[in-house]
Amino acid sequence: MSDDKKTYYSIDPEDKLYCSKCNELMVKADCAFAYLDNEFPVEMPVCPVCGLVYVPEDLAIGKVLSVEKVLEDK
């Protein structure tokens, strides 16, 4: 399991992201993107209290968009 983990797409919160509601530093946690019945495990910044997951802009308009496009033609 730990070996698999290394291949996950990972975004580090770099101690610069806070959850505004909980006033907590966001931490890296296991998450999953899902689209059209496909799931992709990733590690994303998450609020340890309320569980809010953050998707940065670069990721959304980059990798996420390109994967979406590939799946859309499946």
Partner 1 sequence: MKDHFKERSTRTYRQKQLFTKAELEERESVCVHEQPAFCTAACPLKLDAREFVRLVGIGDIKTARAMLERIAPFPYILASGCHSPCVSKCRLSEVSEGISIGALERYVMANAPAPAGKGLLKFKKKKKAAVFGGSLFALAVAGEMANKSYPTTFYVAESEAADIIRSCASFLSDGDMETETKRLLAMDIDIIYNSQLGASFIDSLKDKFDLVFASSELLGEKPDQITLINSSGIITDSGNNKEVIDSLFDARRAGITADRLAQSLDPKSSRGDEGPFESRLYTDLSEVIPSSQIAENEGYTKEEAIAEASRCIQCACTECMKACIYLREFKRHPRLLTREIYNNTGIIMGDHTLNRAMNSCSLCKQCSVTCPFGYDMADICQKARANMVDTDKLSLAVHEFALLDMLFSNSEAFLSMLPPDKENCEYVFFPGCQAGAVSPETIIKSYADLRERLTGDIALMLGCCGAIAHWAGRTELYDEMKDFIKSEMAKLNNPKIIAGCPTCRNTLSEYLDVPVIGIWDILSDLGLPENTEKASGKAVIQDACAARCDSETQDKIRDLTKKLGYTVSEPQNTKDRCSCCGYGGLVSYANRDMAKDMANDRLKGVSDELNLTYCMACSDRFKREGADSKHILELIYGTAKDGFADISEKRKNRLTLKQSLLSDVWGINVLDEVLDFELKISDEARIIMDDRMILESDIIAVMKDYHINKEAVYDVKTELSIATKRIGNVSFWVKFTSEGENAYNVVGAYSHRMTISKRGR
Give min distance, CB of 6 to partner 1, in A: 16
Question: Which DSSP category does 66 fall into?
Answer: H
- Classify burial at 36, counting beta carbons within 10 Å of its beta carbon; exposed 0-12, middle 13-18, buried 19 or more: exposed
Quote the longest CA-to-CA distance of the chain: 41
Is 4 a residue that touches partner 1 (CB under 8 A)? no
Smallest gap from Cβ 66 to partner 1, in A, equals: 11
Interface residue list for partner 1 (CB under 8 A): 16-21, 26, 29-38, 41, 44-46, 50-55, 57, 60-61, 64-65, 67-68, 70-74
